[in-house]
Amino acid sequence: MAETMVKDLADVSFINEVCAIPGGEAIRSCIQCGVCTGSCPTANQWDYPPRRVIAMVRAGLRDELLSSNSMWFCVSCYSCTVRCPRDIKPADIMHALEIIAIRSGKSTKRSKTPTMYRCFVDSARGNGRVYELGMMIKLFLKTNPFAALKLAPVGLGLFFHKRLPLKPSRIKGMGELKAILNKARELGGAK
Amino acid sequence: MKYYSYYPGCSAEATASPLGVSVAPVAKKLDMELAELEDWNCCGSTPYWSVDKLEAAAMATRNLALAEKRGFDLVTPCSNCFVILHETNNYLKKLPYFKEKVDKALAAGKMKYNGGVRVRHLAEVLYTDITPDGISAKVTKPLKGLKVGAYYGCQLVRPDGFDDPESPHSLDEIITSLGADAVNWEMKARCCGSSLVMPEQEVALGLVNKLLKNATEHGAECLITPCPLCQINLDAYQSVVNSQFKTHYNIPVLFVTQLIGVAMGIPANELALSGNIVSPMRVLAPYL
Ligand code: SF4
Ligand code: SF4
């Protein structure tokens, strides 16, 4: 009895956690029709495809879901979102799950996407603009330096076509932007 | 003359520089003033969006606040920047608790946003404000006989775009306004894998392969797209797709503004045509 109660509480808190992130609000009205999974270009890669992800949030299967590779394969194509008959915005729910997985330190090592996102965010925070070359190098050093060799032709191609500047561009209002971002962080995420 | 504030986005300055370069001369010919937003910052982008939504939204809103001072629609040529800036605007309108936090964050940088900016994609502005007829009126070198596939990608038309999210037609109409033939192909608004090409290359390239296959099977001699990420995946990774799938694609992928520019007689160097990895010179030669 006590155990079921604890489990029930866990259920409720997970779905609330997801609902608290902008875009996650509508998850309760899912009818499990599967249109999202059927529309998803990468669903065959997911540990649990989109429809199941929604079901697992509602069932409170927090750890299983947060440590899966599922949401990290979402490419934000929004096919699910324009087709969902209940206006659920599955893409936004995947973003919410990514946020929660990172925040709780559960994001999986089997996908390199969490690392890429972090490199990207560091770059945007550092200069106010994203420095693509720096970000790519950092990603490969952190994940798989050999993959970088395989991609060298792509990088060189971009470089020789003047599409890979060697210097980052930095905004003038960095002080002001830092103050804004620090305050946002202090306010504790988008709850 | 039509007036806009212009937000190029990080890619248009680097990996998608042919886009950034070609926008200016085309806008000039079409009597559009695109005034670049002074000291704009990264839009926040999908990766940031997926790490911390409040911080990402605060980043996006700084740009909206800068645009509000000037008072015109904020136009971006990047589909991802468009979705992020546009969705942030929506969240601020719909979610008062979220707006309160973003306001506080912005105030820490002595800035304020009142919600008065309309965010628009350049392709939508070309279609709605300038119109295919308006473009056609400026064409000096009609692209007769050129078979062009419009590749919309995702975020121009979804989740909240201006065209049909399943079967869009705006870019096809722009192609026709240039005198070219718009190729009808099924996958024109399907996904290219976007930034997944970095962490999960094989999966993304599988999607690119499907797109290139579908487009070439329908006879496209070149593709146009408005989106930096789509262009990079289809153009810069085309040789990797060829070696991975034993294919022989050699199909140039142009930014929409590059093709419009060619038809309006703008010289190749002003359109950065040498910036495309798969050279478009062979198919464009008759029109240059
Ligand atoms: S399409 Fe919408 S209603 Fe159907 S399963 Fe997916 S989220 Fe639920
Ligand atoms: S937005 Fe994400 S979950 Fe939805 S269909 Fe596209 S990849 Fe799949």
3-state secondary structure A96-134: HHHHHHHHCCCCCCCCCHHHHHHHHHHHHHHHCCCCHHH
CB distance A73–B196 less than 8 Å? yes
- Domains in chain A: boundaries: 2-103, 113-186
- Centroid of chain to Cα B199: 22
Interface test with A, best of B36, B45, B50 (most A CBs within 10 A): B50
Distance CA A102, CA A44 (A): 23
Strand arrangement, sheet containing B32-36: B32-36, B2-6, B74-76, B119-121
Domain boundaries A2-103, corresponding CATH code: 1.10.1060
At A22, phi and psi to the nearest 5?
Answer: -50, 130
As assigned by CATH, the class of the B139-287 domain is alpha beta
* Res. B177: pLDDT tops 90: yes
Tokens in use for A134?
A: 């720096």
CATH architecture of B2-121: Up-down Bundle (1.20)
Q: ipTM for the complex?
A: 0.94
Pocket test for ligand 2, best of A74, A82, A87 (most atoms within 8 A of CB): A74
Q: Averaged over B136-152, what is the pLDDT?
A: 98
B contacts of A20 (beta carbons < 8 Å) = none
CA nearest to A171 within chain B: B39
Which residues lie across from B34 on neighbouring strands? Answer: B4
3-state SS class at B182: strand
Higher pLDDT: A130 or B23? It is B23
Q: pLDDT per residue over B223-272, tens digit each?
A: 999 999 999 999 999 999 999 999 999 999 999 999 999 999 999 999 99
**Of the bound ligands, which one is closest to the alpha carbon of residue A84?**
1
Q: pLDDT per residue over A145-163, tens digit each?
A: 776 677 778 888 888 888 8
Expressed in angstroms and rounded, the spacing between residue A43 Cα and the centre of ligand 1 is 14
CB distance B98–A102 less than 8 Å? no
pLDDT value, residue B174: 98
A contacts of B49 (beta carbons < 8 Å) = 95
CATH 3.40.50.11810 domain extents, chain B: 139-287
Q: Which of B104, B92, B94, B84 is nearest to B159 (CA)?
A: B84
In terms of Cβ atoms closer than 10 Å to its own Cβ (0-12, 13-18, 19+), residue A8 is exposed
Distance CA B277, CA B286 (A): 20
CA nearest to A79 within chain B: B158
pLDDT value, residue A1: 41
CB distance A190–B237 less than 8 Å? no
Tokens in use for B134?
A: 């308006």
Q: Which residue has the tokens 């408005």?
A: B226
CA nearest to B56 within chain A: A181
pLDDT value, residue A189: 59
| pTM listed for this prediction | 0.94
CATH 1.20.1050.140 domain extents, chain B: 2-121
Tokens in use for A127?
A: 């200069």
Pocket test for ligand 2, best of A48, A80, A82, A87 (most atoms within 8 A of CB): A80
